[in-house]
Structure 1
Amino acid sequence: MATIAQLAGVTQPTVSRAFNHPEMLQPETLERIMQAVNQTGYVPNMVARSLASSRTRLLAAIVPMLSNVVYSSFLKPFTARMREAGYQTMLFESGFSLQEEERLVEMAIARRPDGILLTGATHSETCRRHLRSAAIPVAEVWDLADDPIDLCVGFSHDESARHAARYLIGKGHCRFAVISANDERAYRRREAFSQTLAAAGLELPRRVDLPSSASIGQGKAAFGALLESGFDQGAIFCSSDIIAHGVLIEAARRAVDVPGRIAVMGFGDQDFAAEIMPPLTSVQIDRQRLGEEAARLLLARIEGREATPARIDIGFGIIARDTA
């Protein structure tokens, strides 16, 4: 900074103001300083700045899969809003494992981020204890917690599945199947879907629980297994659009009429859902709003402002298309 000040013909505190409060400087002064910065390749020491201000300007976001568009689509508006406010986001991938999430939370806390974003409301007791004792603002997203750690933005997975079941019953279906990825929230939706059928006096659905996360290949294999088990007519509720896409591909390969013989409903309403043939009926979640609300609440908490409401239900909807 002393070198920058000498080259720009200003004092060292003026250089500091150029980085921290550029609006306080005359445009020509700021331009001279930035020219000196470009000439030398100087980069401010953020570690030193964080020690002085007790702010790292870093956030930690932990999601099950970075490659899954369900999570990346709410991370995008979240990180964009935080970047506008001067924060950068460290991304961690837990792989749907509570033990891995616990390890990543410990790793994140050790770096003292200004805030933490978590996916879901189910965590190990050790993880919850670490987060509460760290006194770092936390936003849980993609689920609604009855007892949130701090802030929560999500929707009811149970109610979304009940709504899906009632929709398919209303379309006249009497036989059902559920294909679920290896995910705690998907299993909760499966159980709520089944309970709704039972309450309506219908037989419980055929179940296919996948051994891993969702994929087109898993969807194809699951549909094949359902056909081989005798399920050749009815409605299939899939825990993700990716699985439903696989079902539709396999149905087309086997010349199974959709929705004539088999109706298919996905979950998440991903961008491709409206473009595939036939267009996929799906449960829609406003992931853009989810990311924006999480960023708004977390920023308010970090900056000492009131974060209200601390628990936001963004809801869901059924987008009816040709498959159901």
Structure 2
Amino acid sequence: MKSERNARKTVSRAPTLEDVARAAGLSPMTVSRALNTPNIVRPATVAKVMEAVKVTGYIPNLLAGSLASRRSKLIAVVVPQINNNMFVDTVQSLSDELAVRGYHLLLCVAGYSHESETDIVSTLLSRRPDGIVLTGIHHNTELKKAIINTGLPVVEIWDLTPTPIDMLVGFSHEKIGNAIGEYLLNKGHRRFGFIWTDDKRAMLRKKGVLDVLNRQGDCQWQDALVPLPATMALGRSGLGALLKSGQTFDAIICSSDTLAQGAIFEAQTHQLRVPQDIAVMGFGDLDFAACNIPAITTVNIDRWKIGKDAATLLADKIEGVPVEEGIVDIGFTLMERESA
């Protein structure tokens, strides 16, 4: 019985650095160097240590290592939602690029509430991340103060301003709105319906559209505001509400491709041809946009580049590499397709 208890204790005990050293036939100090600073250890020795780690099932104590190096190897990323590819692609790109640099992503979904974002970031800061990625540039004063006081590198994404908290990778929503307005006016449209979500970035795009329409002077428009997150069902109900108003429309401008797809479906149920009877414009160039029938005219944002550039900026600054340009405008491309 005693031998069985001892065996159970041996099985349940977590492998230690000393266990790895014995398995590798090396000193604990050499094993520690191979795990924490492999660049100064011979490759053959590192390989031997990693094989011993695999055999013993040893899991390094990253917290202990971070206390010594003041590095957690964690990057906190806060996004409003991940239920569409708009943010998913950027998060995946961030994760891939950070992994190459030896960092891991700690993802949180904050919704569109400033209070929720502040609470989440406060919790993340207690985990001592090496850097933070925030979505957008509109944050409350309490959050900005907390981040600035930590001195951590920060990258804001999906927006543009000359005065970010620290660094920024994004694009101008107002310029996108301008481009949409000019494009549709050049197509001869003058009566517009908006199917729009009430978030700051979407509203900036709408402002950009309206600035162009107001300069034209002979345009009419009507709104159908829908809640977040955007869905095809909301696109359908949004167009349904616009059509019930009794107004006639040349073009429907949607704050996302998802809403645009729903609007196209709803137009078809009313025997309206897209774009012959009514044009539909989206935003985001999501994966289905080019494959839809009709293919959706939209605005392409290089979501992967946002993630890649944000990860590079953060990793460089954490590691002391000079950051020559802390504000990156990735621009946008208007994708002319069949729907408008």
The TM-score, its normalising length taken from structure 1, stands at 0.96
| Cα distance in 1 between the residues matched to 2:118 and 2:197 | 22
Structure-2 residue corresponding to 1:66: 82
Larger mean Cα displacement after TM superposition, 63-72 or 275-284: 63-72
| TM-fit CA distance, 1:23 | 4.7
Residue deviations 1:254-279 (CA, integer Å, cap 9, x gap):
22110011101100111110001000
Of 179, 182, 201, which aligns to 2:217? 201
User: 2:263: which partner in 1?
Assistant: 247
Q: Deviations over 1:163-184 (max 9, x none)?
A: 1000000001111111111311
Aligned to 2:102: 86
* Aligned equivalent of 2:72, options 48, 56, 64: 56
The match for 2:20 is 4
* Cα distance in 1 between the residues matched to 2:320 and 2:45: 33
What code does the residue aligned with 1:132 have? Answer: I
Change (3 A) 1:23 1:298: closer
The match for 1:173 among 184, 189, 194 is: 189
Matched, 1:162 2:162: no
Alignment partner of 1:308 out of 324, 328, 334: 324
Alpha-carbon distance in 1 for matches of 2:265, 2:106: 36
Conserved? CA contact 1:183–1:213, under 8 Å: no
Q: Which residue in 2 is equivalent to 1:133?
A: 149
SS of match in other structure, 2:288? helix
Alignment check: 8 A CA contact 1:266 1:280 kept: yes
Amino acid at match of 2:272: V
CA–CA distance in structure 1, aligned partners of residues 293 and 108 of structure 2? 35
Identical residues among aligned pairs (%): 40
Change (3 A) 1:20 1:211: same
Q: Secondary structure at the match of 2:267?
A: helix
Kindly indicate whether the alpha-carbon contact (under 8 Å) linking 1:62 and 1:118 is maintained by their aligned counterparts in 2. yes
Any stretches of 5+ residues in structure 1 without a counterpart?
none
Q: Report what 2:9 is aligned to.
A: none
CA contact (8 A) 1:182 1:213 kept: no
Which moves more between the two structures, 286-295 or 78-87?
Answer: 286-295
Residue deviations 1:80-114, cap 9 Å, x none?
A: 00011110000010111111111111111111100
SS at match of 1:213: coil
Distance 1:10 1:270 in 2: 53
Unaligned residue ranges in structure 2 (runs of 5+): 1-16
The whole-number CA distance in structure 2 between the counterparts of 1:119 and 1:52 is 31
Q: Distance in 1 between matches of 2:99 and 2:198?
A: 33
Shift of 1:203: 2.9
What is the match of residue 122 of structure 2? Answer: 106
The alpha-carbon deviation at position 77 of structure 1 amounts to 1.2
Task: Tell me the CA shift for residue 25 of structure 1.
Answer: 4.2
Q: How many residues align?
A: 324
Superposition pairs of residues 187-266 of structure 1, within 5 angstroms: 187-266=203-282
Preserved CA contact (<8 Å) 1:182 1:211? yes
Aligned counterpart in structure 2 of residue 15 of structure 1, from 31, 38, 52: 31
Q: Which amino acid aligns with 2:302?
A: D
Give the secondary-structure state (helix, strand or coil) at the position aligned to 2:283.
strand
Which residue of the partner structure matches residue 7 of structure 2? none
Per mean C-alpha deviation after superposition, the further-off stretch among 240-249 and 225-234 is 225-234
CA-based RMSD of the aligned residues comes to 1.4
CA separation of 1:28 and 1:144: change in aligned 2, threshold 3 A: closer
Distance 2:160 2:47 in 1: 49
1:296 paired residue among 296, 299, 312: 312
Distance in 2, Cα, partners of 1:106 & 1:141: 19
Who wins on radius of gyration, i.e. which is larger? 2
Aligned to 2:286: 270
Distance 2:191 2:220 in 1: 8
In structure 2, C-alpha distance between the alignment counterparts of 1:26 and 1:110, rounded to whole Å: 36
Offset at residue 35 of structure 1 (A)? 3.2
Q: What one-letter code is carried by the residue in structure 2 that aligns with 1:129?
A: K
| Aligned 8 A contact 2:193 2:249 in 1 | no
Question: Structure 2: how far apart are the matches of 1:122 and 1:234?
Answer: 34
- Structure 2 CA distance for partners of 1:27 and 1:166, relative to 1, 3 Å: closer
Secondary structure, aligned partner of 2:266? helix
